[in-house]
Structures are given as structure tokens and as C-alpha cells.
Amino acid sequence: MRPPILLYDGLCGLCHRLVQFILHRDRAAIFRFATLQSPLAARILTSHGANPTDLDTVYVVLNHDPGKDSQPAESLLARSDAVLFVLLQLGGIWRPFALVSRFIPRPLRDLAYRVIARTRYRIFGRYNTCPLPIESTRARFLDL
């Protein structure tokens, strides 16, 4: 299986904190990252019929093969499904939390996600430019 790719809003303070959260807990270094503002994200989202200009959603891309134009095995998780996938992969205390949260119906989880997404800039701030990762994790960012 290819490493999952997290597509996130590169200007969002909350999204930046999410990426830092993952980097600190992803001991196996399985996750790769790309901003929603990148050409890579636009190609992936367009191929799945998702709006590449919608910055209110975090995505996890599964089975992306960068060497191929056609991606028949690729799949896309959005909003709360993406967050729960990340937590499951991180393991530890996050795994049981994610497993229990899966029992909450997706429409309710996604409603909570959308409320947070609508207020994230006011609460967590917004960057003028995407913060650069530190040297030790830079190789995990696909759009640099």
C-alpha cells in the first residue's frame, strides 16, 4: 500500500496544527502531505469529482501512484472520515477514540466538522503564506 496523503488548507492555522499533530505522533512516518492549494491536490480532487477550490475540507488520499496518470485503485476520504482514518493510523489512545467515534452517524460527524471548518480562521488564525516544514520532515511534503 502506498503512503496516505493528507490534503489540507495550507493557510489555515488549525490545519497547520493538525499537520504538526500528525508529524509528532506518526512514528512510522507513513503520512505524506500536500496543501489544497497545490497543483497535485487539484489533479487528485478533480479526478474524484471534488471541488479543488473548496478549502473547507481535509482529505486523505489512499493508494495514489505518482508515476501513473490513471489511478483505478485510488480512493478519497473527506471530512470526518479523513480525520478518523488519521487517528486510526496514529494508534495509541487515538485508535480507541476513532473506533468509538465511528459509531456516530457520518451526517452528525460531518455537521460538527463543518461548524469547525466555518469558524477555523476566526479561532485558529490564517497565514498569509503556507508555513514551511522543518528540514527533518520536509521530504514528507509532496508540494514543495
Residues in the chain where the model's pLDDT stays below 70: 69-71, 144
Give percent of the chain above pLDDT 90.
64
pLDDT of residue 68: 72
The pLDDT assigned to 69 comes to 67
What does the pLDDT read at residue 123?
86
* pLDDT, position 121: 86
Please report, for residues 84, 95, 108, 130, the alpha-carbon distance to residue 80 in angstroms, rounded to integers and kept in the order given. 6, 14, 9, 23
Closest CA to 56 of 1, 110, 136: 110
End-to-end CA distance of the chain: 23
Q: What is the pTM of this model?
A: 0.91
Here the cell at position 25 is 505522533
Give residue 64's pLDDT.
85
- The confidence score (pLDDT) of residue 29 equals 93
